Structure 1
Amino acid sequence: MSFTTSADLVEFAEPFLGSQAMATGAVTERALRSPLFTRLFRNVYVASTVPVTHVLRCRAAALLAPSRAVLTGCSAAAVRGVELVGTHDPVEFVLPESVLFAMQDGVHIRRTSRGRIDSEPWQEIRLASSARLAFDILTNTKLHRSLPRVVGYLDALLRAGEVDASVLADYMRGRRDNGVVRAKKVLRLADPRAESIPESELRVWLTVAGLEPDPQVPVHDEHGVFAGRLDLAYPTQKLAVEYDGDWHRGGDQPQRDEARRQAIRALGWRFVIVTKAELYEAPKAVVASVRAALSRESAA
């Protein structure tokens, strides 16, 4: 079988098992190996005209999973509309210990000895409930996500209304699963006012160092006119701490940022600006910079 136009590939717009497609004569092995198709997992393909997203990879992984497998964690969050991870981050599952599921690249499997996994039917397998997916994000230490990053994920879930803090606290009460101690710490550090995951991470680095800032602080001039909102701030010392990600460097955003900060500086505020490289490569140095700025104010 040959494919000459994108229309020929319409039936392959959803992930499919290569072995099944070849068995029915819908596609040849040679075609599967050609640029016409994208290999998502071993034996799972999609037409190369289809943009690959994390949710698409979740649907692809579901074709390989046993029916009792539960899509969970950041993968389940993506399916529910909260994007926390990148396209090629591992697709996360939780399964009862007795259920077999062969490991392969791009799939992360966690097992539980507890009975029922809170979930609902999805794609011939199951999708974790909001509380369960959040619980798995908070307790899974094998993915080696930092404490600040996990707090950022929870902040995003809370901000989106996907999970409620009190419901999650009740869900964790009395549980002794691995990672539950860290999960409770994450819940204590969470704050849905954060507007981005890096902002959450910056707040957590400062908080665990004993420099707890206030998030999303509005600033008004002496006449009550709104001058701007600060990512993180120490109002008593009039010190603002802001994260400038890559998007702050594009278009007219740098000029807009500087104009806002100049107006706020005119009201007596100082700024510590943190870049992406500083936050992820030297977070302790960022903490030291903020501590030094606060110390200068105290000594003044």
Structure 2
Amino acid sequence: MPRNQYAEICDFTGPFLGSHAVSQGDLTRAQLRSGPYNRLFQNVYVPRGLPLDHELRCKAAILIAPEGAVLTGCSAATVRGFPFALENDPVEFVVPERQGFHSLRGTHLRRTRLLGEDFEPWRDGRIATPLRMTLDILADTRLRRSFPRVVGQLDALLHAGCIDRETLEAYLGNRHDHGIGRARQALAFSDGRAESIPESEVRVWLRLRDIEAEPQVEVYRGTLFLGRLDLAILKAKLAIEYDGAWHLLGEQPRLDARRRALIEAEGWEFIVITKEELYADPRGMVDRVRAALNRRK
């Protein structure tokens, strides 16, 4: 595994190889074990005090990744500014299909076909391009991310302009990767107008049960703007909104109540979805929306 500056220079401001620090005389084995360092992976350490987030784990894992491995999926997205991975989620790599490798604790390695345009240099290794990264987010079922969740992540990438819908459709069109059908279905369900992943998840759960809701609908009284709805079923004048934790902070509850009262005065009904309902009982959430639709027929 040829390595360059990040593996060879032990400046102790980021991840470093413990074996290299010892062989160069920068640290003794005792200092490595008992000094102010955290071990993130076998033989990879970081100074204590650094924020132990997923991006740091990616920088550490790339030092010991197999030859030719490409950082991808939610790990690559996190490095690119989309915090899809939690701190202790496995660091995701794809490895050329003919490349042998040993599993690494704390990582998720998947053998696949890689083309030259699928990756670019990053630190001591490679990172997937936004298109390849997106393919792996959508297609990798081994990590057991729900279909609504990956559509929500795709929505976020589209909304931010990280990827272009038509370019992604062309990229997926001629591929035969494992999971490509799921990736294409996710693209068909996606909508770059969505402004949060949970909002997207609610929309996808509804669509999977044949309820179509449009994101980010603006409501007016004549020319007076009353507010914007997370999701709306226009014919029924039914608004569906996700209230995350920030909706309970400061002035937000009062502002939400005022906006909803103005819109309700125009004949709309609101269904407010909580985090607990979305993630603990999505079927119950859908049933509640369907019951409201039936009432408003």
Q: Do Structure 1 and Structure 2 share a fold, with TM-score over 0.5?
A: yes
Structure 1 stretches lacking a partner, 5+ long: 1-9
Q: Greater shift after overlay, 95-104 or 61-70?
A: 95-104
Shift of 1:115: 5.3
Residue 291 of structure 2: aligned partner? 292
Deviations 1:212-253, CA, capped at 9 Å, x for gaps: 10100011123x211111000112211100001122222222
1:67 Cα offset (Å): 3.8
CA–CA distance in 2 between the matches of 1:274 and 1:293? Answer: 13
8 Å CA contact 2:244–2:275 kept in 1: the answer is yes
Aligned CA distance change for structure 1 residues 154 and 20 (closer, same or farther; 3 Å): same
Q: Which amino acid aligns with 2:92?
A: E
Contact kept in structure 2, 1:55 and 1:75, CA below 8 Å:
yes
The answer on 1:231 being equivalent to 2:230 is yes
SS at match of 2:141: coil
Corresponding position: 1:85 with 2:77:
no
In the TM superposition, what whole-angstrom CA distance separates every residue of 1:246-273 from its partner, at most 9, and x where no partner exists? 2222222222221221221122211000
Seq. identity, %: 52
The TM-score normalised by the length of structure 1 is 0.91
| 3-state SS of paired residue (1:83) | coil
Aligned to 1:28: 28
Residues 72 and 136 of structure 1 are in contact (CA less than 8 Å); yes or no, is this contact kept in structure 2?
yes
The 1:32–1:259 alpha-carbon spacing in structure 2 relative to 1, beyond 3 Å, is farther
Q: Is the 8 A contact 1:66 1:125 kept in 2?
A: no
The one-letter code of the counterpart of 1:294 is: L
Matches within 5 A, 1:121-200: 121-200=121-200
| 2:4 alignment partner in structure 1 | none
Amino acid of the structure 2 residue aligned with 1:208: L
Instruction: Please give the secondary structure, in 2, of the residue aligned with 1:120.
Output: strand
Note if contact 1:152-1:201 (Cα within 8 Å) is conserved in structure 2: yes
* 1:116 Cα deviation from its structure 2 partner: 4.3
| 1:280 corresponds to | 279
Q: Is the 8 A contact 1:67 1:126 kept in 2?
A: no
CA-CA distance at 1:40 after TM superposition: 1.4
Q: Deviations over 1:5-31 (max 9, x none)?
A: xxxxx9312101112112223223333
**Distance of aligned partners of 1:35 and 1:88 in 2 relative to their CA distance in 1, 3 Å threshold:** farther
C-alpha separation in 2, matches of 1:137 and 1:234 = 29
Deviation at 1:140, TM superposition (A): 0.5
Report the TM-score, using the length of structure 2 for normalisation.
0.92
SS of alignment partner, residue 11 of structure 1: coil
Matches within 5 A, 1:11-160: 11-34=11-34, 36-113=36-113, 116=116, 118-160=118-160
CA root-mean-square deviation: 1.7
Shift of 1:114: 5.4
Structure 1 CA distance for aligned equivalents of residues 252 and 198 of structure 2: 18
Extract unaligned runs of 5+ from structure 2: 1-9
Number of aligned residues: 288
> Partners in 1 of 2:184 and 2:248 — Cα distance?
36
Cα offset, 1:133, TM superposition: 0.7
Q: Distance between the aligned counterparts of 2:15 and 2:155, measured in 1? A: 32
Task: Name the CA distance, whole Å, in 1 between partners of 2:76 and 2:114.
Answer: 20
**C-alpha contact (below 8 Å) 2:66/2:95 kept by paired residues:** no
